[in-house]
Amino acid sequence: MSRRRTLGPKKRLALTTAAAVVAGGGAFALAATSNASQVDQGAQSGAQSSAVCEGLTTALGNNQKFIDGQKANPDAQSEARIANREAVIAEIKRKQEASGCDTGAEATATATAPDTTASASDQADAPASGEQVCAGQQVTLSGEGGAPAASSDQFPAGTQLKVTNLDNDKSTTVEVTSTSGSCALLNNAAFEQVREPGKFLIRNARIEKVG
């Protein structure tokens, strides 16, 4: 006749405690893994938000610089151009608010925006078709609608520019249709053709004059 082996109260208590410790340790490990994942996701989200806000601030500075230039040297069309760019700035500010951007840096960004206006000698030595121009320039959007196009402070209307985003190898060839405070400022449709998802600034850009 077989005899069943039973555990005493002390052994049962010890086994129960050990099982609870193992289960608790597993729960702690899972919680730690989950927390680490949340931290990584938070860091990625923060980096993306920073890039979005930087691009919007650059676009705001370029448009404000254009308005200042029109006010300093007005012509018959300046009033209409200024009204258009003020509407663009209002839209950029709405995007900044929606993205939670710190708008306190706007004045600094506008005041310190690089002056890329070409001198008379630069205009005389205009680049040939197919030549890279504006080396080192970052590209952002003007916020204007319509068919794909660009604005520039260095090239006259009708100039064809090819803009390549070197981070994703996407490119677009657009016609300069207006002036701005940047070498090449893409409108919304053109920017969508070369942008990276969620970004409003192309840090590594290649700009070529192709016509």
User: Any idea what DSSP says for residue 185?
Assistant: E
Summarize the confidence of residues 20-30 as an average pLDDT. Answer: 47
> Greater confidence, 166 or 10?
166
Q: Count other Cβ atoms within 10 Å, centred on residue 71.
A: 11
60 touches 89 (CB < 8 A): yes
d(CA 75, CA 64): 17
Q: Count other Cβ atoms within 10 Å, centred on residue 133.
A: 20
Confidence grade of residue 165 (pLDDT, cut at 50, 70, 90): very high
| The two three-digit tokens of residue 146, written as one number | 């319509």
d(CA 206, CA 209): 10
> Greater confidence, 38 or 75?
75
| In the predicted structure, residue 172 carries a pLDDT above the cut 90 | yes
Rounded to the nearest integer, the mean pLDDT of the chain is 74
pLDDT of residue 164: 96
Q: Would the pTM count as exceeding 0.75?
A: no
> In 3D, which of 188, 165, 186 has the Cα closest to residue 177?
186
Question: What one-letter code names the amino acid at 76?
Answer: A
57 touches 143 (CB < 8 A): no
3-7, 53-57, 167-171, 205-209, range with the lowest pLDDT: 3-7
| In the predicted structure, residue 210 carries a pLDDT above the cut 50 | yes
Cα 194–chain centre separation: 12
Q: Where are the alpha helices (DSSP H) in 73-160?
A: 78-99, 106-111, 120-124
Tell me the pLDDT tens digit for each residue of 75-130.
887 887 788 788 788 878 888 888 888 876 444 444 344 444 333 334 435 555 56
> Greater confidence, 123 or 199?
199
Confidence grade of residue 14 (pLDDT, cut at 50, 70, 90): low
pLDDT of residue 29: 45
Tell me the pLDDT tens digit for each residue of 118-159.
333 344 355 555 688 988 888 988 888 999 999 998 899 999
Contacts of 129 (CB under 8 A, 6+ apart): 209, 210, 211
| Distances in whole angstroms, Cα of residue 85 to Cα of each of 12, 69, 134, 137 | 78, 12, 23, 21
Enclosing H/E stretch for 63: helix 9-72
Query: Domains of the chain (ranges plus CATH)?
Result: 42-209 (2.40.40.10)
